[in-house]
Structure 1
Amino acid sequence: MTLGTSTTNNPEPLGTYLEKMRAELIKKRGIKVDELPTKEELDRQTNIKAQKWLAKQKQDFYSSQSLWPADVPVSFKFSDWNPNLQKNASTARDAGKQAYVLSKRLANNQKFNVAFVGAPGVGKTSLALAILDELKSQKSGTMFVSTAELAGLYQQKREYADIQKRLSKIEESMKKVDVLLLDDLGTEGFSAFNDYGVRTDMQSLMYRISNARFDFKNNRVRNVTLTTTNNTQEQLKKMYDPKIISRLVPREPEFRVVFNGFKDVRGV
């Protein structure tokens, strides 16, 4: 079979035939050739789509490794923050503003850790989740870890063989994820006559996590860690090796959102 003209002694070249088909299709559909994307533009669009796909895959993976209280995922946005729930609305508004400003700095590729410190139920986790939400919208991989749930897995690992495999995946994710939220750091400890402590395996885990998330060569944060805690810095250092706390929980006031004088609004 010969493409193009039916004259067998003078077959039409395939390239010419395809060019005619292209011209006819363009004319039939009213396509404006000058507006068609170039190869470079098509390559650029393909690259953008690939990057978005990879970012989504990364986000989904780290989210799947999160440890939520009672295994129930929760979310919070800055628009959900209601300062009027507190007696001193102005102070609550300032806390929300501080967290929001920090989220914008982090979204602008600055690297630092943030601590949310105060009594239970005052909104620490809510504002930490709002930062997590803000950074996830910027394509960062994010992960939520309840330290109480993590300690619970360590207590069960001898009884259930599959838990050790899960803990290994969680640890690798905690080391590498762009933004890690450690919720209620300190509740996994115990106290007796003001003598605080955390089980040895949790100590070892958090030591490895803190090392992996810190850039020792440049003496700065490698990956962002957000921490919520009911404990003071000194109490945390009694529970954990001080090196761990210094690498994960900042002391600088600009990186600490403090909820002094706030009331418990959980369930309100």
Structure 2
Amino acid sequence: MTRITAWRRHPLARYAVLIFALALVGMAYTAFVQVGKPADAALASGRVDDVAEGKALFEAHCSSCHGLNAQGITGRGPTLIGVGAAAVDFQVSTGRMPAADSGAQAPRKPMADWVNPDAISKLGAYVQSLGGGPQVPGKEQVDAKLGDAGKGGELFRANCIQCHNWVGAGGALTRGKYAPNLNQASPTQIYEAMVTGPQAMPVFNDSTITPEEKRSMIAYITEVRAQKDPGGFGLGRIGPVTEGLVAWIAGLSALALAAIWITAKKRQKS
């Protein structure tokens, strides 16, 4: 205790305490600024008015489900704090939001009458200002010409075919959910889906799949759409289940017709 008391009475003790206090304040300020950076980025990417107008649009069209402060309402809609402008652009541009009903999954549908690119941009700016999150990708990030379709195919088969099928035709999931067909999705929407994880889809952040790899996956998805089906009918490209069903039905029908023809021929001879 004597040593501690002596140190406290040392002429330099007050300066040490002051430096320590300043360091704590600096650390707290740095942490606060880091948290606020995504929101600052949203404001820097457009006009401050965009956020205000986006808030007005949100209150008019979205607050009934997501709350006036985007905090979410139980049984209606989740919180939008931290989801980012990319989630807004994906959900609204595909017509999934505003939702028509509260089913297991929001289907793709035509956009609402009040929705246009400018309105989506302003809504995104407002949601981005609430807590950051993934932003809408730039043109270079989604340019399929800059991607490697071969590498993208490998990544797609490793991460996506379990739900979306090898050509992105989609498929059923559990509890009424499903992986949608990707043929209607734009390159921007595909990228946004990967970084935001809508519905039952997992999030593929940049540490899991890099932006370059995402661009290559987009190159594969858009390229496979134009591929021809050398075997004839594609049957929706759903896979061997559909092909087997058609083969089974066609085979049984052919056998039945053959049996009828053979039987009728024998009756004529008798």
What's the TM-score, normalizing by structure 2? 0.30
More strand by share: 1
Higher relative contact order (CA 8 A, sep 6+): 1
What's the TM-score, normalizing by structure 1? 0.30
More helix by share: 2
Please identify the structure whose Cα radius of gyration is greater.
Answer: 2
